[in-house]
Structure 1
């Protein structure tokens, strides 16, 4: 949600830039551009509100907790809306502009269509990003699944690619009588590109259509780019940028459709087959900058190399960070990223639990509730403690226990939490330690000692 908060004003800015282009050439869309300018400014403030207010703290690891500035941001947004649209409606009669002819297929009408597509995309993204706020007004806050954005933007992407394919061949104001003749080369290249992705194994009709329209946008603008380059390179900015958009749209779908993902648990010095590779975890290497290196030997077809993904705590982001190791190949890239680090099993085989934030589970006679993460500076300079706030109940009493891990100065130390066992005597206690954590998924793995149960 936090990343999408900045995408929304970016989409309205794109609409505004294309609207200003029409205004510069023909004098049209003046009121539309004023409207988009006001909305974009307010959406930038709204993005700050989503990030800094804490309303998305339970739904994104990149959101801040409540910083106490919510009222100021809300007042700023309301003032911007009131003043902006108040002045706009007061002087709307003074804003004169020639109308656009919607009954003709020219560059003005196609750019206006792109403005509509940008606006629909921004509205749908706004609704999805703001869903925790809207649902919180009527019940428990909830966010939409990532699949929502993929589903609603698939037809939007197809429309945008079609617009990009037609636009470079259209003229300002006048109709283009030989449009089909000029489109013929790019259409033939699009048919060839579509047949290629089908041959490679793509079978989903909507995805094939998406790739086809993206290729249509790419080939149309590539042809226009070389045509304009012979005249002057100064005029090639628009087709060059649209070539990139066509490539981006096609690459998103193709890479997502053909990608392969696999999660594995690698044990120290034990080779394991993963896809077409043999991987061996060879331990951690401490780095001077605190970004510990995970050493993984990768062997494939007789050749091998040492992958060095990183796994460390970032004081700036207040969370665990991962840097993948990327091996670039001609037709594919190999990404290796550590998710979590688990220490070796204890000798007495204590009990284990895996919990996500807000989840309850039982271990022995106790109920364990994971409230959330707690992060604080440790006593030593450069040391940070990441703890898991637990509420452990024996049915009568509830105890707050915060086991944690201390990061910094090229080392990592576990710090267990203690809680009483009243049914075994006055001084009897058990301990719980943080065995692993995944901040992105808000998940922890706990190891209990002294409960007398086997896990």
Structure 2
């Protein structure tokens, strides 16, 4: 809630009441880690930066004017604590040999760090542009995808190699001459992608770099044998993609690399079954990552959609389903208001969908939540876009001293009554209306309060009438030049046309791979947690 993103920022959804507990946790974690030398130098610094960022976001959210002073004091205090302890904090030299597991872990962490910096930049773009420009701007989703794709491609290579390498690092002789040959082959591959397959220059360089790195591992006989299943998965995916009509070279290569990750880690997991499965947590998570890549690309690139406009009580068709709109559970002002949607398959079986569409005053906009039908090979999304041409819901115009009969009631607008408020910058306008139901006649006075000072606003003050005060009258507009008033009486006058639902029905193929991959990543993390817990014990 920096003032630029306001209530649309991620921080607006964070409960500030938990800050005090998180602060205590971070402080204790940092102090204990330093005292026991549990973290190396980099981790200590990263933990302190995390704490600093957390405090800054808290101060910004609360609008604290001393945030700048705090940052300076914290940084210098941090340096005074960490620098004298440098010799006491343990650190093991890193082996940068590309055939070692340490290098793969280091490269993976640096890749994630680089991607996090890019994400931080684009998410902070509204704040940065507000500083240097008159109007803040934000990056669209396509920008994130454009930068994420190269990282995902390189990460796929690392996760393919990860289960094949160990901490016992072999030495490669005459690597300089081999690197020159591999570099030439990589340049040829990049050139083919760029000049003949219409791949962008940046992605051509990324793919060329991936093949360059992969060729080093093919030199070692042991690695070559282990990579055979993964390479077979790569080739088979290319063939399947070609036969399926995939013409985009980037998509085909991306699918193939994701298949390499999946096959490489799946083979490794199978080798650990059943005796040593507890040490295969990383492979389980990496298998999930490969499946997740397949699901993300397949569901985003090959998603199709049909937009329907359905009047209430009517139906339309999409993807072999007959979709019918039956109104709303409440109204658009009601929190989490659900739309009543039915859909039928070709056999006439009825299903119920309850997508949500409602107005949020806090966020000053309409909130939309799709209904999802899960299938094995695709998911069907029912996403409400808009409820259009809503009937006026009893909205009528009453002219002065002209009776208007609606149902069993006769309404006559008599006059305006204005009440000023000396203690406030505003006034109340009452609308005097006679209501006659042929048995009783009485006067009601719906009103509207108008604030006339800075920040003009109006407040509706409805009146009720009818048996058990059944109907509520609200002033919609005062037509002083016409000697009339526009009022709304929901439920009394329902003669307008029915409302229409604009709904987007989209079909997302193989998105189940995304969910399976996500579950496997979590499962792998759990396996690693219990393994490390047992080792510590």
1:174 to 147, 160, 169: 169
Contact 1:282/1:297 (<8 A) preserved: yes
1:325 matched residue in structure 2: 371
Counterparts in 2 of 1:121 and 1:86: CA distance versus 1, 3 Å: farther
Conservation of the 8 A alpha-carbon contact between 2:311 and 2:500: no
- Which residue number corresponds to residue 255 of structure 2? 211
Q: Is the 8 A contact 2:266 2:287 kept in 1?
A: yes
- Specify the alignment match of 1:38 in structure 2: 48
Shift of 1:349: 12
Q: Partners in 1 of 2:456 and 2:501 — Cα distance?
A: 19
**Structure 2 counterpart SS, 1:137:** helix
The CA deviation at 1:296 is 1.9
CA 400–46 in structure 1, closer or farther in 2 if over 3 Å, else same: same
> Structure 1 residue 230: deviation in Å?
3.4
Larger Rg over CA atoms = 2
Distance 1:402 1:89, change over 3 A: farther
Structure scoring higher RCO (CA < 8 A, sep ≥ 6) equals 2
* Counterparts in 2 of 1:342 and 1:81: CA distance versus 1, 3 Å: farther
Which residue is equivalent to 1:302? 347
Whether 2:275 is the aligned partner of 1:231: answer yes
Alignment check: 8 A CA contact 1:5 1:126 kept: no
Alignment of 1:1-400 (within 5 A): 2=9, 30-45=40-55, 53=61, 68-71=62-65, 79-95=73-89, 97-139=91-133, 140-175=135-170, 178-285=222-329, 291-303=336-348, 304-312=350-358, 321-342=367-388, 344-345=390-391, 400=456
CA distance in 2, matches of 1:315, 1:323: 16
Q: How far apart, in 1, do the equivalents of 2:458 and 2:244 lie?
A: 52
Go from structure 1 to structure 2 and tell me whether the alpha carbon gap of 1:81 and 1:221 turns closer, same or farther (over 3 Å shift).
farther
Q: What CA distance in whole angstroms lies between the structure 2 residues aligned with 1:260 and 1:349?
A: 43
Can you give the 5+ residue segments of structure 1 that lack an aligned partner in the other structure? Answer: 7-26, 54-67, 351-397, 407-412, 439-455
Q: Distance in 2 between matches of 1:180 and 1:244?
A: 24
TM-superposed CA distance for 1:108, in Å, is 0.6
Deviation at 1:302, TM superposition (A): 3.1
Give the superposition deviation at 1:418. Answer: 3.2
Tell me which moved more, 251-260 or 262-271. 262-271
Q: CA RMSD in A?
A: 4.3
The answer to whether the Cα contact below 8 Å between 1:221 and 1:239 also exists between their aligned partners in 2 is yes
Q: Quick one: distance in 1 between partners of 2:387 and 2:352?
A: 18
Q: CA deviation at 1:240?
A: 1.0
CA distance change for structure 1 residues 292 and 147 in 2, over 3 Å: closer, same or farther?
closer
The change in CA–CA distance for 1:317 and 1:233 in structure 2 (over 3 A counts) is: farther
**Measured at CA, do residues 418 and 334 of structure 1 come closer, stay the same or move farther in structure 2, by a change above 3 Å?**
same
Tell me what 1:418 maps to.
Answer: 477
Q: C-alpha displacement at 1:164, in angstroms?
A: 0.7
The 8 Å contact of residues 403 and 415 in structure 1, kept in 2 or not, is answered as no
**Closer, same or farther in 2 for the Cα pair 1:141/1:38, shift >3 Å?**
same
SS of the aligned residue for 1:280 comes to: strand
Matched residue SS, 1:282: strand
State the number of aligned residues: 344
Give the helix-richer structure, 1 or 2: 2
Give the corresponding residue for 1:442. none
Alignment deviations for residues 69-95 of structure 1 (CA, whole Å, 9 cap, x no partner):
344666655554443344334443554
How many angstroms apart in 2 are the aligned matches of 1:244 and 1:333?
A: 19
Query: For residues 210-246 of structure 1, what are the alpha-carbon distances to aligned partners after superposition, in whole Å with 9 as ceiling and x for unaligned?
Result: 2222221111111111112233222121111111111
- TM-score, normalised to structure 2, is 0.54
Maintained 8 Å contact 1:38/1:85: no
Counterpart contact for 1:278–1:299, Cα < 8 Å: yes
Separation (CA, whole Å) in 1 of partners of 2:396 and 2:77: 66
Q: Distance in 2 between the 1:246 and 1:234 partners? A: 20
Indicate how the Cα distance of structure 1 residues 262 and 188 shifts in structure 2: closer, same or farther if over 3 A, else same: same
How far off its partner does 1:414 sit? 11
Shift of the 37–200 alpha-carbon distance from structure 1 to 2, 3 Å rule, reads farther
Secondary structure of the corresponding residue to residue 266 of structure 1 = strand
- Residues in 1 aligned to 2:76 and 2:252: alpha-carbon distance in whole angstroms: 45
